């Protein structure tokens, strides 16, 4: 294979092979933009190296050839003593991983060539500054020396001279630093800094390969869901120098504001500086607009290039550039990252400008971004007392009582309190507490800390690294600036979108986008973001083939789902209708000893059920409402076995309670998830399902009589054999006939056997709805309630799966069952309606899969309906 590509040989579509940086350097080269010459070593070579611990055959030769060609083009050899070619060795994977991997600049300098460089440039200081930078970066990146050794030495040099700025160091100072840095290398790794230019380059290439597996890179990939096996490319680029005096410099720029999407001059520039100085915050940068004053010619050229790039990529680009003595060089570009709001706005702006069409615009925004825009925010933080600023680790606005341990968080949450878990930093033992909390606040750690990563995974609000707060877990308090203290139980508010921490309760409001979906904010209100969301959602709706329904158990949820664009209810659970006050009635049913008792209990329940259904039909008039007959783990309706036993044992129990204990014992299950539930309950408790069906039928009949158009669909849960379904179906049909109402009867497919025998089951079912939560549990053998906290973070860490199968459908396993069941079912009954009603119905990646297997609809929580609509549209484009 071809392991090396000159910049003139690549293009932007070769990101898999050349990485984003290499592909775009090639693209810019071919556009005729001023890019220093260079070449790219492919990701394939990297993968080979990582797998075998050695570079593939032929790579060394290829590098020799491409380096020779580069030397020819530049008219000088790498590290040539009197006039050295210097290069940078830069990482660059397919997906950008900012700051995660390594780059070494000024490769090719040594004790001889530093003089040649000084002479050619007519600048001693510059040459020695470049040399010390090489040793510093090489030492850190290639030799693995802690960067602080070098930084401390640099600080010492400045302090010794009584200056604060590295611009005040002269050639002699840098010469001294080169000696010091070499000493550090010798001391830290027991070898001399390699002075052979080619050896420097080869070692740097390998170090870049290896940086793919640096811990922070691994963590970043997991968080961004970037596959672990892509590898990075390596770019060898002729150096250009921004540190050659005040007519030189280096900068970064965006073609438009990545926060708002507004077009304009956005970026930073730093005179007399190299590479990373701009982002490292070594000196204060100036806004890009000032470059016009400093170097008008380069500025005009840069603006011209930015326009070229926007028109060429038809998107926001970000750019790295360097000016060497008045000559502009482009060092990097890519389609830039942006906030969720900017993504929607930019996509619409580009449609307006005629650069892209609406299909393209919809494909450029994601459901995840829409989720970001739907988080609630603080209404008015102006009056609130802001006590600290941390990092905006996971968006949202959370208010609750401060707690300092995971155990307390769980305890208070169980009592119905909203809590915010405050920790110095979290660790896997805090998982329970994080789940129980409204939000998480830490005083240490950045956006890739445990707290941040886990919180984002859970969609939980998190502010991390609020360093002004001193968390004293043992004393159970936080000491903030100006003597503020937070003790357990004090209410605080945290803003995961801005990183702000407030004392007291800040009122929370819906985001404008949610207000738009709710209909409380209209297009006429002139919010540009809302207009963009409206436009792209409208187009997604027009394009999608999947219908979107909602999971809703109450009329209020149904109504909200309707406002969010759901066309019907895909899952109306009936369990909750038995909880609360009605639990007593369920107990009666379970304890009923004879036919008569049982019927009496059922009769008492029915009017309540009927009322529930009537309200939901009304809220979803004219749209299908799929009602799932009761599927509870039975124990949820019964008192706690231990508690009751103690009561009976101590003689405090009433007669009823004694009888109840017998029943609880009788019904106690070791493994309720796999026990007496779903259709099994309908089979075992005669009359239970019939009561529910007749409540549905009568409610529908009454709605019809009132002039409405109810469309009930009856869904039987947890069917594993067609015989179960036939039995219940016969009973249900009889009830429907009696009331004179028609309703399709279908089943959930949520057990592997049901999926595998779907051809038989379809004989008795008019529709299937995939219950992917249970299907995932039973396919993986994971009890969701038990495994997530117990070991999922470890599994994610080890890469056993990249994302929880409860979050994104496991296409290989569970997806296979869905595919098989869909095919077999439709073979038996070509007009079989197919839907999905698990959590996956609102997950972007899963929605694409459901589109692809040809389901008719997805059903998800009301809040996720817009996400599913958008992703279903994107899937169809
Ligand atoms: P990252 O991916 O972290 O941005 P880069 O490979 O882009 O790393 O390089 C780090 C810095 O060095 C950037 O500011 C870049 O512009 C600069 N740089 C890289 N190669 C060269 C070069 N050949 N000449 C001058 N500056 C360079
Ligand atoms: Mg860069
Ligand atoms: Mg289920």
**527 domain residue, yes or no:** no
321 lies in the same domain as 419: no
Per-residue confidence (pLDDT) for residue 457, from 0 to 100: 62
Indicate the residue among 309, 335, 361 that finishes a domain. 335
Q: How many domains does the chain have?
A: 3
What mean pLDDT do residues 169-174 have? 95
- Indicate whether 552 pLDDT > 70: yes
3-state secondary structure of 513: helix
Annotation marks residue 450 as catalytic: yes
Mutate to test the pocket of ligand 1, among 205, 267, 276, 330 (most ligand atoms within 8 A of CB): 276
604 lies in the same domain as 723: yes
* pTM of the shown model: 0.81
Q: Ligand 1: does its nearest atom lie under 6 Å from the Cβ of 322?
A: yes
Mutate to test the pocket of ligand 1, among 331, 333, 337 (most ligand atoms within 8 A of CB): 331
**660 domain residue, yes or no:** no
| Ligand 1 center–CA 260 separation, angstroms | 26
| Ligand 3 center–CA 870 separation, angstroms | 26
* Structure confidence by residue, pLDDT tens digits, 235-250: 999 999 999 989 999 9
- Indicate whether 281 pLDDT > 70: no
| Ligand 1 center–CA 92 separation, angstroms | 11
Per-residue confidence (pLDDT) for residue 327, from 0 to 100: 97
Contact 537, 869 (CB under 8 A): yes
Per-residue confidence (pLDDT) for residue 304, from 0 to 100: 96
**756 domain residue, yes or no:** yes
What mean pLDDT do residues 143-158 have? 93
**430 domain residue, yes or no:** yes
Mean pLDDT of the chain: 92
CATH of the domain at 420: 3.50.30.10
pLDDT band at 195 (very low <50, low <70, confident <90, very high): very high
Tokens for 832, please give them: 């079989």
Which atom number of ligand 1 is nearest to the Cα of residue 91?
6
Q: Which of 46, 317, 572, 837 is catalytic?
A: 837
678 lies in the same domain as 810: yes
Q: Ligand 1: does its nearest atom lie under 6 Å from the Cβ of 123?
A: no
306 lies in the same domain as 409: no
| Ligand 1 center–CA 380 separation, angstroms | 42
Higher pLDDT, 696 or 591: 696
10: CB partners within 8 A, 6+ apart:
18, 22, 23, 25, 26, 27, 40
- Indicate whether 455 pLDDT > 90: no
pLDDT band at 489 (very low <50, low <70, confident <90, very high): very high
Q: Which residue has the tokens 């550090």?
A: 184
692 lies in the same domain as 829: yes
Residue whose CA is closest, atom 13 of ligand 1? Answer: 275
Half-sphere exposure of 653 (CA within 13 A, CB side): 18
Give percent of the chain above pLDDT 70. 97
**Gap between the Cα atoms of 361 and 351, Å rounded:** 7
399 lies in the same domain as 502: yes
763: CB partners within 8 A, 6+ apart:
722, 828, 829
To which H or E segment does residue 254 belong?
strand 249-256
What is each CA distance from 548 to 152, 399, 681, 869, in whole angstroms? 59, 32, 30, 6
Q: Ligand 1: does its nearest atom lie under 6 Å from the Cβ of 88?
A: yes
| Ligand 3 center–CA 771 separation, angstroms | 5
Q: Identify the burial level of 6 via C-beta atoms within 10 angstroms of its C-beta, where 0-12 means exposed, 13-18 middle and 19 or more buried.
A: middle
For the ranges 53-57, 408-412, 752-756, 789-793, which has the lowest average pLDDT?
789-793
What mean pLDDT do residues 180-188 have? 97
Annotation marks residue 46 as catalytic: no
Residue 349: alpha-carbon gap to chain centroid: 25
Give me Rg for the CA atoms of the chain.
Answer: 33
319 lies in the same domain as 448: no
Question: Domain limits at 286?
Answer: 249-335
- What's the DSSP call for residue 53? S
* CA 799, 803, 804, 805 torsion-angle sign: negative
Cα–Cα nearest to 715, from 606, 596, 630, 802: 630
- Indicate whether 877 pLDDT > 70: yes
Q: Ligand 1: does its nearest atom lie under 6 Å from the Cβ of 420?
A: no
- ipTM comes to 0.95
Q: Ligand 1: does its nearest atom lie under 6 Å from the Cβ of 36?
A: yes
Per-residue confidence (pLDDT) for residue 223, from 0 to 100: 67
**740 domain residue, yes or no:** yes
311 lies in the same domain as 388: no
To which H or E segment does residue 551 belong?
strand 547-551
305 lies in the same domain as 384: no
Contact 3, 45 (CB under 8 A): yes
Indicate the residue among 482, 509, 536 that finishes a domain. 509
797 lies in the same domain as 848: yes
691 lies in the same domain as 810: yes
**Gap between the Cα atoms of 231 and 229, Å rounded:** 6
**526 domain residue, yes or no:** no
Residue whose CA is closest, atom 18 of ligand 1? Answer: 275
What mean pLDDT do residues 24-33 have? 98
Q: Ligand 1: does its nearest atom lie under 6 Å from the Cβ of 103?
A: yes
The ligand whose atoms approach the alpha carbon of 22 most closely is 1
CATH of the domain at 291: 3.30.470.20
Contact 317, 336 (CB under 8 A): yes
Alpha helix stretches (DSSP H) within 829-864: 844-853
pLDDT band at 448 (very low <50, low <70, confident <90, very high): low
* Structure confidence by residue, pLDDT tens digits, 346-356: 999 999 999 99
* Structure confidence by residue, pLDDT tens digits, 339-398: 888 899 999 999 999 999 999 999 999 998 999 899 888 887 667 889 999 988 888 899
Q: Which residue has the tokens 């961004």?
A: 224
Indicate the residue among 493, 509, 525 that finishes a domain. 509
**81 domain residue, yes or no:** no
**Gap between the Cα atoms of 129 and 171, Å rounded:** 7
- Indicate whether 318 pLDDT > 70: yes
Contact 275, 237 (CB under 8 A): no
Q: Which of 48, 450, 539, 848 is catalytic?
A: 450
| Ligand 2 center–CA 487 separation, angstroms | 44
- Indicate whether 514 pLDDT > 70: yes
432: CB partners within 8 A, 6+ apart:
406, 407, 409, 410, 789
**43 domain residue, yes or no:** no
Contact 844, 809 (CB under 8 A): no
Which H, E and C letters describe 525-541, residue by residue?
HCCHHHHHHHHHHHHHH
439 lies in the same domain as 502: yes
CATH of the domain at 813: 3.20.20.60
- Indicate whether 453 pLDDT > 80: no
């Amino acid at each position: 294979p071809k392991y090396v590509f000159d910049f003139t040989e690549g293009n932007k579509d070769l990101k898999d092979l050349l990485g984003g940086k290499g592909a775009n350097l090639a693209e810019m080269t071919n556009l005729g933009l001023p890019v220093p010459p260079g070449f790219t070593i492919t990701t394939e070579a990297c993968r080979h190296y990582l797998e075998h611990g050695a570079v593939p055959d032929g790579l060394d030769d290829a590098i020799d050839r491409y380096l020779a060609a580069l030397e020819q083009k530049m008219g000088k050899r790498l590290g040539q003593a009197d006039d050295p070619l210097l290069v940078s060795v830069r990482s660059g994977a397919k997906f950008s991983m900012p700051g995660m991997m390594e780059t070494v600049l000024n490769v090719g300098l040594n004790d001889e060539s530093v003089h040649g460089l000084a002479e050619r440039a007519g600048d001693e200081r510059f040459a020695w500054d470049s040399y010390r930078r090489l040793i510093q970066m090489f030492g850190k990146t290639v030799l693995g020396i802690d960067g602080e050794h070098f930084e401390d030495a640099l600080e010492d040099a400045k302090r010794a001279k009584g200056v604060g700025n590295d611009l005040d160091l002269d050639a002699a100072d840098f010469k001294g630093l080169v000696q010091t840095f070499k000493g550090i290398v010798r001391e830290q790794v027991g070898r001399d800094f390699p002075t052979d230019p080619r050896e420097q380059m080869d070692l740097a290439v390998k170090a870049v390969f290896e940086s793919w597996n640096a811990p922070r890179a691994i963590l970043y990939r997991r968080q961004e869901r970037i596959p672990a096996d892509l590898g990075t490319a390596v770019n060898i680029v002729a150096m250009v120098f921004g540190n050659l005096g005040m007519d030189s410099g280096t900068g970064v720029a965006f073609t438009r504001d990545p926060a708002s999407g507004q077009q304009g001059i956005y970026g930073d520039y730093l005179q007399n500086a190299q590479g990373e100085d701009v982002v490292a915050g070594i000196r204060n940068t100036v806004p890009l607009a000032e470059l016009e004053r400093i170097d008008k010619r380069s500025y005009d050229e840069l603006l011209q290039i930015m326009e070229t790039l926007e028109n060429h990529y038809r998107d926001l680009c970000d750019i790295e550039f360097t000016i060497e003595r008045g000559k502009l060089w482009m060092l990097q570009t890519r389609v830039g990252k942006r906030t969720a709001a900017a993504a929607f706005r930019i996509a619409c702006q580009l449609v307006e400008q005629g650069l892209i069409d609406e299909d393209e615009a919809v494909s450029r925004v994601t459901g995840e971004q829409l989720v970001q825009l739907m988080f609630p925010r603080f209404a008015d933080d102006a009056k609130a007392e802001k006590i600290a600023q941390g990092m905006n680790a996971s968006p949202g606005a959370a208010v609750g009582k401060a707690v300092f341990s995971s155990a307390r968080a769980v305890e208070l949450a169980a009592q119905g309190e909203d809590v915010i878990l405050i920790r110095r930093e979290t660790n896997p033992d805090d998982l329970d507490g994080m789940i129980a909390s409204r939000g998480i606040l830490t005083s240490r750690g950045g956006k890739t800390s445990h707290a941040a990563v886990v919180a984002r995974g859970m969609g939980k609000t998190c502010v991390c690294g609020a360093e002004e707060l001193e968390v004293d877990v043992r004393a159970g308090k936080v000491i903030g600036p100006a003597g503020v203290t937070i003790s357990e139980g004090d209410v605080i508010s945290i803003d995961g979108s801005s990183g702000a921490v407030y004392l007291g309760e800040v009122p929370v409001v819906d985001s404008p986008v949610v207000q738009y979906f709710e209909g409380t904010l209209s297009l006429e209100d002139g919010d540009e973001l809302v207009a963009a969301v409206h436009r792209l959602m409208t187009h997604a709706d027009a394009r999608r083939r999947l219908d979107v329904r909602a999971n809703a158990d109450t009329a209020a949820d149904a109504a909200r789902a309707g406002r969010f664009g759901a066309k019907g209810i895909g899952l109306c659970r009936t369990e909750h209708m038995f909880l609360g006050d009605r639990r007593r009635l369920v107990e009666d049913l379970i304890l009923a000893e004879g036919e008569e008792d049982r019927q009496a209990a059922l009769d008492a329940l029915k009017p309540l059920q009927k009322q529930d259904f009537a309200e939901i039909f009304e809220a979803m008039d004219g749209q299908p409402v799929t009602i799932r007959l009761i599927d509870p783990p039975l124990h949820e309706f019964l008192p706690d076995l231990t508690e009751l036993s103690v009561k009976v044992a101590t003689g405090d129990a009433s007669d009823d309670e004694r009888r109840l204990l017998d029943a609880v014992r009788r019904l106690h299950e070791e493994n309720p998830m796999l026990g007496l539930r779903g259709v099994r309950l309908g089979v075992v408790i005669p009359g239970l399902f019939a009561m529910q069906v007749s409540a549905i039928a009568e409610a529908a009949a009454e709605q019809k009589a009132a002039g409405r158009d109810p469309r009930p669909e009856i869904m039987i849960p947890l069917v594993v054999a067609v015989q179960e379904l036939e039995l219940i179906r016969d009973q249900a049909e009889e009830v429907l006939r009696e009331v004179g109402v028609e309703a399709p009867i279908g089943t959930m497919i949520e057990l592997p056997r049901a999926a595998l025998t779907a051809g038989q089951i379809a004989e008795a079912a008019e529709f299937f709805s995939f219950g992917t939560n249970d299907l995932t549990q039973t396919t993986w053998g994971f009890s969701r309630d038990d495994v997530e906290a117990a070991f999922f973070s470890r599994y994610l860490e080890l890469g056993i799966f990249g994302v929880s199968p409860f979050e994104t459908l496991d296409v290989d396993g569970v997806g296979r069952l869905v595919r098989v069941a869909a095919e077999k079912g439709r073979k038996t009954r070509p007009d079989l309606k197919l839907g999905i009603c698990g959590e996956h119905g609102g997950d972007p990646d899963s929605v694409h899969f459901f589109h692809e297997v040809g389901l008719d609809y997805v059903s998800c929580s009301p809040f996720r309906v817009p996400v599913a609509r958008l992703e279903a549209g994107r899937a169809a484009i």
